[in-house]
Amino acid sequence: MLQQLSQLEQEALAALADATSAEAVHTVRVRFLGRRGKLTSLLKAMGQLPAEQRPEVGRLTNEVKVRLEEEVSRRLKAIEEEALTEALLTGPVDVTLPGRRPPLGHLHPLTQVLEEIIAIFTSLNFTVAEGPEIETDWYCFEALNMPKDHPARDMQDTFYVADEVVLRTHTSSVQIRVMEHHPPPVRVISPGKVYRCDADITHSPMFHQVEGLLVDEPGRVTFGDLKGVLELFAHRMFGPETAVRFRPSFFPYTEPSAEVDIQCVGCRGGGCRLCKGSGWLEILGSGMVDPNVFAAVGYDPESVVGFAFGMGVERIAMLKYGIDDIRLFFENDARFLAQF
């Protein structure tokens, strides 16, 4: 019986080795391990053995069965792998060529510049405040010292959603909301989208701003502090060698007010088409907060003083990267975006 068992195993292993397809392997399995297979027939003959031999023969028979089933599985897997390899090598795709890595995405250039601006001011202990993009006339204009008949409103062509409701033209409205709910001292920046009826190569109906506000007791905040903060910002954004100047200007919510210019990034002050021959480029507006703004939010104008500033993120990005058309930021051309 044991000799028959050994011969059956060797015969089955030889048949499996000769099998070259999954169908042939299944045929061998049925012939030796099926319900009417040779191993099953051998097990039925165990009844003719003496009782003391049956346990040993049964154990050996089960071991042969396990080994044959494992060999069937191994052979099926080997045949499948051989077929796959053959298909890959002879198919239309050359798997020996180096693979192509999928392109990796990255932050939009405006997002990169915005995050850099925020990082500079948060390093100076400014906190970030956000507010609604649809505002009432009060927060967008009147609380900022621009009543309905103020000529300064003509500087901002506005999208009106309804009577007394507008798409905000600047994020200064967020500063009003912050001061309404927080007593001084206040030190915030307010980044976000703003909207104006304007569209050409340097203006967009929707663009991004970062406005800043610092309010404290008299004597603790001066115009010199404002200059120091903005000079530090310009040097970190455009390089320590960048010259900065302040020019008198007008904003209805600050007095005195100033425009901040940097030395032209194109000609370094020599005069070119970018700076229109002046050697300077405007980057932001600033000034000391008008007392009427403090009164509108419930602050005592005699007890507080502060400064504010605001900049367009697109403007900063265009100067930083030498871009001459603001529309490129919003056209989603991968060739343009991949440069950043």
- What's the average model confidence in pLDDT over 237-251? 93
Regarding predicted confidence, which is higher, 158 or 46?
158
pLDDT (0 to 100) of residue 84: 82
pLDDT (0 to 100) of residue 48: 67
Could you tell me the strand order of the sheet in which 305-312 lies? 127-128, 186-195, 206-216, 305-312, 280-289, 254-263, 244-251
Q: Residue 157's CB: how many other CB atoms inside 10 A?
A: 12
Residue holding tokens 């042939």? 24
Segment holding 305, helix H or strand E: strand 305-312
Say if residue 44's pLDDT is above 90. Answer: no
pLDDT-derived band at 1, boundaries 50, 70, 90: low
pLDDT-above-90 percentage for the chain: 48
pLDDT (0 to 100) of residue 109: 93
Which residues, in sequence order, are bridge partners of residue 203?
A: 200
Say if residue 106's pLDDT is above 90. Answer: no
pLDDT-derived band at 66, boundaries 50, 70, 90: confident
- What's the average model confidence in pLDDT over 106-121? 95
Could you report the per-residue pLDDT of 263-304, keeping only the tens digit for each? 988 787 788 877 788 889 899 999 999 999 999 999 999 999
Say if residue 45's pLDDT is above 70. Answer: no
pLDDT (0 to 100) of residue 28: 79
Could you report the per-residue pLDDT of 308-317, keeping only the tens digit for each? 999 999 999 9
Residue holding tokens 């048949």? 15
pLDDT (0 to 100) of residue 299: 95
Say if residue 83's pLDDT is above 90. Answer: no
Q: Residue 156's CB: how many other CB atoms inside 10 A?
A: 18
pLDDT (0 to 100) of residue 50: 67
Say if residue 52's pLDDT is above 70. Answer: no
Say if residue 237's pLDDT is above 80. Answer: yes
- What's the average model confidence in pLDDT over 127-140? 94
Its pTM stands at 0.69
Angle at alpha carbon of residue 322, lines to 316 and 323, rounded to 5°: 80
* Cβ neighbours of residue 327 closer than 8 Å, sequence gap 6 or more: 201, 204
Render the burial of 27-38: b for 16+ CB within 10 Å, e for the rest: ebbeebbeeebb
Could you report the per-residue pLDDT of 144-164, keeping only the tens digit for each? 988 888 777 777 767 888 888
Could you report the per-residue pLDDT of 327-338, keeping only the tens digit for each? 899 888 988 988
CA distance 127 to 195: 23
For the chain, what is the mean pLDDT?
87
What SS3 class is residue 195? Answer: strand
Say if residue 47's pLDDT is above 70. Answer: no
